[in-house]
Structure 1
Amino acid sequence: MDHITHFHIDKFKSLHNFTIPFPPSPNNTFLCLIGKNGSGKSTVLQAIDFAGEIFRGKISPWLKSRNWEKRDISSFQRLQNINLDIEGRFNGHTVNWSSSFNIQQLRCTQEKIRIDGNTVFSVADGKYRFFGENEVKNIFTYEGSILSILDKEILEDRGLTAFCAFMKKMYSFDTLNSKQLRMRTRPVDADTNIGRGGEFLSGKIATFSAGQIKELLAKVCEFYPWIINIYTSSLRGGWKELFFVEKSADGGTHRFSSQNSCDGLLRLVGFLTEFMTSDTFIVFDEIENGFNPEIMEKLVRMITDFPTQIIITTHNPVIINYMQEDIAIESTLLVYRKQDGTTGIRRFFEIPEVSERLSYLSPGEVFLDVDIDDVLIDAELV
């Protein structure tokens, strides 16, 4: 499975020389971010989304969708560049991409790609080149990475298709909300997801085959066994609306639209739809919102079993208890603010004061038992 093994970003908002520590076990693709309000958890999710947007080449619309200005993506006002270094395994090869993103120009003015340690592509001084080829080409107008506008054939011939496709589909659903999940939308294409706020959910499900609907329904029934059907209905102008059918007390059935469904059901369907259709990095903020403990326990166990890379944030220590202990220990990352205002991150259960409590407390109980401020001071992290 294609996946990222290294993510480093420098000078994006509060992230200064910041590296995400991925789980050491190759079969563990799950990360859970914990930390106090304002520590920078959402900023980490935004940074992942930013990296994906660089490869989609639509930085201006991305800023507008978040009501941001150029100056908002870096807290280092005198510095004009955000540096990224991302590495992973794609099609059996190690691919490393490094870049320098110019905030004023909204594009990467320097880029380099290495495959298995060999440099194959670079951008510098207004030109780009593929190594092993004599031609050096001038750069034209674009946003993000120049890789976002190169023909698929060019990328395929040079072994970059899998990496670029993975990055383009890397999104953070950190603004997922019930209002947008309820929206009527037109059908979307196969590569479109449910939308950062869930606004394309009905359009995405409208493209599902009968087999996919059956799979989605089976997963939903694990949480809501009274739901017996899920479908979309066509409205004027090609718009689609999501409907559910449930058992009724008189032995019949009752149909209701997404406009009248509970927030938890919609969030669950949004999560499951994305898990079923995504083969890249999936990022969800405060995943516990809208769910009772029974639903959350099943969802966490389902998430940790998915082969796709997933990052969630949470304020709820019980969620950590729902994970297998080895996954919880490897995957729980503490995000915190340093004295200089920048954001730090480390494996929570590697902090000595925390790890010693695992001998008599469960991972979730440890999270609940410790005082984060004291832990940070004792570990000399602030």
Structure 2
Amino acid sequence: MSIRRFYIDNFKTLVDFHLPPLPHVLGAFTCLVGLNGAGKSSVLQAFDLLGHLATGDVEDWLRQREWEKSDLTSRFLKRQLINFELEFDLPSVGPVEWKGAFNTSLLRCTAESVRVDGGDVLRIGEDHLKVATGPWSPPLLYPLLGLDYHGSTLSFLKTEKLHPALHALREHATRLRSLDMLSPQSMRRRAKDGTHIGYGGERLSAFLHALPRHGQQQLLRSLQRFYPQLADWSTKALRAGWKDLRVSEQYPDANGKPLETAARHINDGLLRVLAVLSQFGSAAAADDAPVLSPPAPRACLLLDEIENGINPELMQRLVEALLEADRQIIITTHSPLVLNYLPDDFAREAVILLYRNPDGYTRSVRLFDLPSARERLRLLGPGEVFVDIPLRDVPAEAAALPVPPPP
């Protein structure tokens, strides 16, 4: 199950925003580039918001990010509703379209629908919520007056007993996670529980501790492609349930044993690579390696400024691992080196430039749809083109592109 298109209106600088630009669809890998303040991190945060609408824990999400309700909506508009559309491709069903209007005052969707093949399988009506149970069964009706929920109506429905598209959508959406706050300081912390590593990686040690043995072994092999001197990594359960992370290198210490380093002294780059690889079980580790994650829907992985803290010499291996990953990935980067490791034909589809129009709204354009970038790509690598074109001239050039027909 993969995301084909994303639309959001009235979230921070994202006003009437499409990703990718129409009429295109997202592929398995997407790289967002652009100037500081163009809205790259906001796009990842918007995806993350939708994931928490599906779980219903919007208040916790705001608290973790230290945001207020008023931080969500655009300062360009005077509206409380955030409108969104997310289109998935579900192999067994076809395109699934999830639409909604999220009220930032009530912290719930006051309008919502899920459509499959042009027909509703979920819709909020005037006085009830209508939900399909299957192709031949009568729908369920829930009176709106008795419903108390946050986020999406998907958050309280037992979707495994409903239309299969609803269950697949909920399973995928609830696993949408943006790692846009990864920090070495957070990743060094001990943690008790971790079904995921957390926005800043603060639950990394607990997440790694819970991996099955074959997953731990595969992660070690993946890490050794980046750090050949790495002998092993391990976690240890401490008193009160805290989990401690350590790595061992092949260098002998004073006692002739592999040099062991506690998490508080592990270098930043290794921590970041460890966190990223732990999310998708790099297929590059071995051709016959088992998948790293447990059998569950492989939701889109969202990574911000992937190059931070990682030596340029390791960047090619990281890009290769991302391209070979077992799930859809969206990253942001400021690094031309990341783009240079993308094949030209792949970069034409995958690299999307974000910019601000004269009104301050974030807009998207495929970088190599711009005539200036397309011409340069005949002689230069994708990263060199990114450095060579004047990004401040992009709004005018993008506005001059032909208006695409509706999808």
Smaller-chain TM-score bracket: over 0.9
Deviations along 1:227-286, one digit per CA (max 9) or x if unpaired, are: 111110111111111111111157641111111100111111000111233711111111
Mapped pair 1:104 → 2:109? no
What does 1:69-88 correspond to in 2, within 5 Å?
69-75=68-74, 76-88=76-88
Asked if structure 1 preserves the Cα contact closer than 8 Å seen for 2:4 and 2:26, the reply is no
Q: What secondary structure is seen at the aligned counterpart in 2 of 1:328?
A: helix
Q: CA deviation at 1:91?
A: 4.2
The TM-score, its normalising length taken from structure 2, stands at: 0.88
Q: CA deviation at 1:375?
A: 3.3
Asked if structure 1 preserves the Cα contact closer than 8 Å seen for 2:38 and 2:356, the reply is yes
The TM-score, its normalising length taken from structure 1, stands at: 0.94
Show structure 2 runs of 5+ residues with no match: 282-292, 402-407
What does 1:1-382 correspond to in 2, within 5 Å?
2-21=1-20, 28-75=27-74, 76-93=76-93, 94-131=95-132, 133=138, 135-139=140-144, 140-155=147-162, 157-188=163-194, 192-249=195-252, 252-276=257-281, 277=293, 279-380=298-399
Asked if structure 1 preserves the Cα contact closer than 8 Å seen for 2:8 and 2:14, the reply is yes
Read off the aligned partner of 2:299 and give its amino acid letter: T
Q: Distance in 2 between matches of 1:226 and 1:23?
A: 47
Asked if structure 1 preserves the Cα contact closer than 8 Å seen for 2:357 and 2:395, the reply is no
Q: CA deviation at 1:366?
A: 0.7
Read off the aligned partner of 1:286 and give its amino acid letter: E
**Displaced runs of 4 or more, over 6 A:** 22-27
Aligned residues: 377
Q: What secondary structure is seen at the aligned counterpart in 2 of 1:274?
A: coil
Same amino acid, percent of matched pairs: 38
Read off the aligned partner of 2:192 and give its amino acid letter: R
Q: CA deviation at 1:9?
A: 0.6
After superposition, the Cα gap between the structure-2 partners of 1:158 and 1:362, relative to the gap in structure 1 and judged at 3 Å, is: closer
Q: Distance in 1 between matches of 2:77 and 2:394?
A: 31
Read off the aligned partner of 1:307 and give its amino acid letter: D
Read off the aligned partner of 1:228 and give its amino acid letter: A
Read off the aligned partner of 1:160 and give its amino acid letter: L
After superposition, the Cα gap between the structure-2 partners of 1:245 and 1:381, relative to the gap in structure 1 and judged at 3 Å, is: farther
Q: What secondary structure is seen at the aligned counterpart in 1 of 2:226?
A: coil
Read off the aligned partner of 1:105 and give its amino acid letter: L
Asked if structure 2 preserves the Cα contact closer than 8 Å seen for 1:29 and 1:307, the reply is no
After superposition, the Cα gap between the structure-2 partners of 1:207 and 1:350, relative to the gap in structure 1 and judged at 3 Å, is: same
Deviations along 1:138-184, one digit per CA (max 9) or x if unpaired, are: 231111001111124333x5542111100000011100111111111
Deviations along 1:196-247, one digit per CA (max 9) or x if unpaired, are: 1111111111111221111000000000011111110111111111111111
Over the aligned positions, Cα root-mean-square deviation in angstroms equals 2.1
